[in-house]
Structure 1
Amino acid sequence: MEWVPTASAQALSADDMAALARAKHELESPPLTMKLAAIVGAPLEKVMLRLPAVANQKVAEATQSALRKCLQIALKTLRKPGHGAGHLAVHVGSGETGAAALPPAMPEKPGNLLHKFAVATTGAAGGAFGLFALPVELPVTTTLMFRSICDVARSEGEDLNSTDAQLQCLAVLGMGSHSSTDDEADLGYFIMRGALAQAVSKASSEIASKGITAHGSAALVRLVNAIAARFSVQVSEQVAAKSIPAIGAVLGAMVNTVFIDHFQQVAHGHFTVRRLERKYGEEAVKAAYQTIDISLA
């Protein structure tokens, strides 16, 4: 990818501009619907219309349950300062020996393949048992995805002992869809992020003031509901892909692999942008983001 930097993009180094270009490509990549349709060989819009009425209720219930499980993991991590990354099973440098230790200069890359393998395994069960497996499978799949998102965040320099970082990881699950209003603007990512920003900020403030006892607070409930409203769209598409007759365990595993890959890409893009914002400031990064034409990739 090569661009001639405009005045607004001059603040970023060539390497950071390339990183931002990769991030935009990941954040503005084709929607999950198209990726899943390519796997199952059928347009998901038509398949979704054939889903039974009870499917929407099951998706809503399973989504809420899955997100609450992820939130509990985040809060347990925050309960034990200095040990958050271990709780999330992310990979940290062996040289760290406590809160005062300096982070490694080059953070270890995230274990994306390991998480994909684990999620593919749960997808095989979902493909074999269909909608009936959703209440059991989705919380497990989503928890694995959340751990993977946290691993990506850590690799981009996020402090996983931070309330904001944990909630940003959870918010990624709400950034994986493109609504019609998102598509009306060039800054689809920033619109999606902005839609969740206030809810994340209020929830983070409540945890900061009340501690982990705030897990049932109105702010956290609103955040989970806001994320669930978007994440459930993606889950419905996943369910539709798995509802195709005779999809079986193998294709079920493939569907889940595409599912987690989609959110890993979003996480990589989101936390790359946040890393660059810590270095250059939000306005400089947003301005540079606007100059990138991903159609040239």
Structure 2
Amino acid sequence: MQPEILLPVTDPALKAALDQLAKRHRAAGGIGMQVMAFVGGSAENLMSKLPQPVRDGLEGATSRALETAFDAAARTRGAVSDRPDWVNTALTTAMGAAGGVGGLPGALAELPFTVTMLLRAIQGIASEHGFDPASDEVRMECLRVFASAGPLEADDGTDMGFLAAKVTITGPGLNSLIAKVAPRLAAVLGQKLAAQAAPVLGAVAGAAVNYAFTSYYQEIARVHFGLKRLARESGEDEGLLREELVARIAPKPKG
């Protein structure tokens, strides 16, 4: 069987919508870069500041945090309504400050709560775009948002290919997805922990990092579910729209 040939998007309204999503994606990491300048050093240098045992156990801790958050975030939907972005950001910023006060131990204790808050915010954005966060499929899609590069690194959009992969919606499927997401998120969270544990900065760094993280993942969620809604409403192939979006996000070659 010949592979399906996907033609480029030509509809002006669709192209304009993709341009807006690309602009949002590029802007998502802006605050993170400012935090990096505030904390000092590079993402790689931040990771090197973590004790080796913490670095070794980070992926496992991230997997456990994702598993806990996957259930906890969904359970809260029946008791707490979706909140505006600024409320989510304010809450996680306060949590980051509290974690930063306690240095690295405090940041580690705060980690699963922040991941749950972030996932809960992402579920709210999915609902805002017309998707049902109570469905297993959408809950999995929310989890995939964590596969993006993170707010403290430049993201050329290539991680969006991961978001297109299909995962069976079963217990093993969830474990498989967490196993794929955890290493990516662990690398990002390691930078967060190191920034919060930075000497002197303490609570201020914790608040700034959590502010950047929440702002970033909420924006990435809007890109992800905005693209899915665009595909649904336009009838265009989602894979094609994703390719078009990545092409708009990727830095243009100099010449």
What's the TM-score, normalizing by structure 1? 0.71
- The 1:22/1:49 distance shift into structure 2, 3 A limit, reads same
Contact 1:152 1:268 survives alignment (8 Å): yes
Contact 1:56 1:236 survives alignment (8 Å): yes
- Which of structures 1 and 2 has the bigger CA Rg? 1
- How far residue 294 of structure 1 moved from its aligned partner, in angstroms, is 7.4
Contact 2:100 2:206 survives alignment (8 Å): yes
Residue 221 of structure 2 corresponds to residue 267 of structure 1: yes
Residue 28 of structure 2 corresponds to residue 36 of structure 1: no
**1:133-168 CA distance string (max 9 Å, x none):** 234201111111111111111111112222111110
**Which runs of at least 4 in structure 1 moved beyond 6 Å after TM superposition?**
293-296
Q: 1:253 aligns with which of 207, 217, 229?
A: 207
Percent of matched pairs sharing the same residue: 27
1:21 corresponds in structure 2 to 19
Q: 2:162 aligns with which of 176, 192, 205?
A: 192
- How far residue 244 of structure 1 moved from its aligned partner, in angstroms, is 1.7
1:106 corresponds in structure 2 to none
Q: 1:131 aligns with which of 98, 104, 110?
A: 104
Separation (CA, whole Å) in 2 of partners of 1:223 and 1:283: 19
Give SS of 1:10's match.
coil
Separation (CA, whole Å) in 2 of partners of 1:262 and 1:113: 12
| Contiguous gaps of at least 5 residues in structure 2 | 1-6
Separation (CA, whole Å) in 2 of partners of 1:232 and 1:259: 13
Q: 2:148 aligns with which of 152, 155, 175?
A: 175
- The 1:28/1:191 distance shift into structure 2, 3 A limit, reads farther
- The 1:51/1:292 distance shift into structure 2, 3 A limit, reads closer
Separation (CA, whole Å) in 2 of partners of 1:269 and 1:124: 28
- The 1:286/1:171 distance shift into structure 2, 3 A limit, reads closer
Separation (CA, whole Å) in 1 of partners of 2:66 and 2:206: 22
Cα RMSD, aligned residues only: 3.0
Contact 1:36 1:255 survives alignment (8 Å): yes
- The 1:20/1:248 distance shift into structure 2, 3 A limit, reads same
Residue 97 of structure 2 corresponds to residue 141 of structure 1: no
**1:45-104 CA distance string (max 9 Å, x none):** 223223210121342243122101122236658xxxxxxx535x343xxxxxxxxxxxxx
Pairing 1:257-296 to 2, within 5 Å after superposition: 257-280=211-234, 281=236, 282-286=238-242, 288-289=244-245, 292=248
- The 1:63/1:189 distance shift into structure 2, 3 A limit, reads closer
**Paired AA for residue 158 in structure 1:** F
Residue 87 of structure 2 corresponds to residue 114 of structure 1: yes
**1:17-56 CA distance string (max 9 Å, x none):** 3332232233345488735312313333223223210121
Separation (CA, whole Å) in 2 of partners of 1:39 and 1:233: 20
- How far residue 271 of structure 1 moved from its aligned partner, in angstroms, is 0.7
1:81 corresponds in structure 2 to none
Separation (CA, whole Å) in 1 of partners of 2:221 and 2:17: 14
1:229 corresponds in structure 2 to 183
| Contiguous gaps of at least 5 residues in structure 1 | 1-6, 78-84, 92-109, 207-216
- The 1:166/1:12 distance shift into structure 2, 3 A limit, reads farther
1:162 corresponds in structure 2 to 135
How many equivalent pairs are there? 242
